[in-house]
Amino acid sequence: MFSEKNIVLIISGGIAAYKAAIFARLLIKENAHVKVVMTKSATEFITPKTMAVLTNEHVLTDLFIDETDATIDHIALADWADYMFVVPATANIIAKIANGIADDAASTVLAARHTPLIIAPAMNENMYLQKTVQRNLQQIMADGDIVIQPDDGFLAEGYAGKGRLPEPTDILAYGELALRQQVGVLKGKHVVISAGGTVEPIDPVRYISNRSSGKMGYALAQAAVEQGAQVTLVSATTTLPDPIGVKTIHIQSAQDLSDQMIAALPEADVMIMAAAVSDYRMGEPATNKLKKQESGQLTLTLVENPDILAQLGAMKEQQYLVGFAAETQNLLTYAQKKLVKKNADMLIANDVSKDQVGFGYDTNQVTILTKNHEPQVLPLQSKLAVAREVMQKISKAIN
């Protein structure tokens, strides 16, 4: 999102200012163009020279340092910027933003802004919780700017509390998410997504599962929350970090997944079954570890798991239902039958026998089927890119 964008990074005077250097590097790695403005207090914690070397740009600290320059620096920077970040944002700079005070280089640039602003507060917990600070933050958000909540953690004062600056990677992720949400087409919609391969116990040690990594479902959750949706992710994997801005419910078995999806159905606008559900489970899982048999053979008695997509298809009313079909042959034939049989509104099919497609990969190539329309084949691309295209099509269908 920030590639080839012009970003003004404003650093105010707190101990967390050192993280601004890391944040600037992250933006540059995203191919952003970064220019830095520092308050006088910020220069006590990190030098302008450091930021100039990192960004290969002049660092603005004083509007009047060069009396011969005809450029009006704060206006030029504000006009140049696509986005502005304040990292870290102290109580002082927060008060200035909220009340329109422009008495130094940083606050004057902020007063001249006409592009999105993201601020990341960082201060002692007692300062952060002050009514005046909270009132100023509420005013900033009411004005349409984005505030990234501070973390709980170890503070400079030597004790734990709320007010710690989030890690630079998190600031970048939260900032991108919030910016995308501002123009999202799924605001006010509740999207429920399942992900991962379900786990069916054989005994306390062994289980039945499949090769699903959950990456496609997690990408769909990210794409949905980017579009402003309220997102619930019912996940059968613990190997992926919970997506930012998403309510994640962890489950294991197909029955657990069925229970959660059915419970979520009445309040959902969109249901997406991206999980790879084990078709069978043990009729009676062993309570103790099974031992090797003298015959050299072991017989397991399996029973069929619930068909969750079919369950949802039979129960849905106004909900838009999306299913997945991972096949190794006759892709469109099986997928078309599944679309109709399960009463889904959209079916996303992929041939998992192909290289770079399906389970475990970061890429995917899918065909989207909907009722009364020709199948649409998407190119091989990242799973997040696939997810964003899918969510765009869903949003058009339900809005």
User: Can you give the CATH number for the domain in which 390 is found?
Assistant: 3.40.50.10300
Domain ends where: 130, 161, 182? 182
309 among the known binding-site residues?
A: yes
What pLDDT is recorded for position 66?
56
What pLDDT is recorded for position 68?
44
Domain ends where: 151, 182, 213? 182
- Domain identity same for 99 and 73: yes
Element spanning 321, H or E: strand 320-327
- Tokens at 27, concatenated: 């933006």
Catalytic residue among 56, 210, 350, 399: 210
What pLDDT is recorded for position 326?
83
298 among the known binding-site residues?
A: no
What pLDDT is recorded for position 373?
87
Nearest to 366 by CA among 384, 386, 396: 386
Residue 101 lies in a domain: yes
Domain ends where: 140, 162, 182? 182
Q: 73, 104 in Cβ contact below 8 A?
A: no
279 among the known binding-site residues?
A: yes
Residue 292 lies in a domain: no
Q: Given the structure tokens 């079916």, which residue do they identify?
A: 347
Nearest to 276 by CA among 243, 314, 323: 323
- Domain identity same for 268 and 146: no
**How many domains, in total, are found in the chain?**
2
126 among known catalytic residues: no
Mean pLDDT by runs of 10 across the 399 residues of the chain is 92 94 96 95 95 94 65 81 96 96 94 94 93 95 92 77 90 88 84 96 92 93 92 94 92 96 97 95 91 86 94 96 87 88 94 80 92 90 94 92
355 among the known binding-site residues?
A: no
pTM: 0.75
What pLDDT is recorded for position 211?
87
User: Residues 67, 72, 77, CA angle at the centre, nearest 5°?
Assistant: 130
Domain range enclosing 231: 190-286+297-398
- Domain identity same for 157 and 268: no
3 state SS of 363: strand
What pLDDT is recorded for position 295?
85
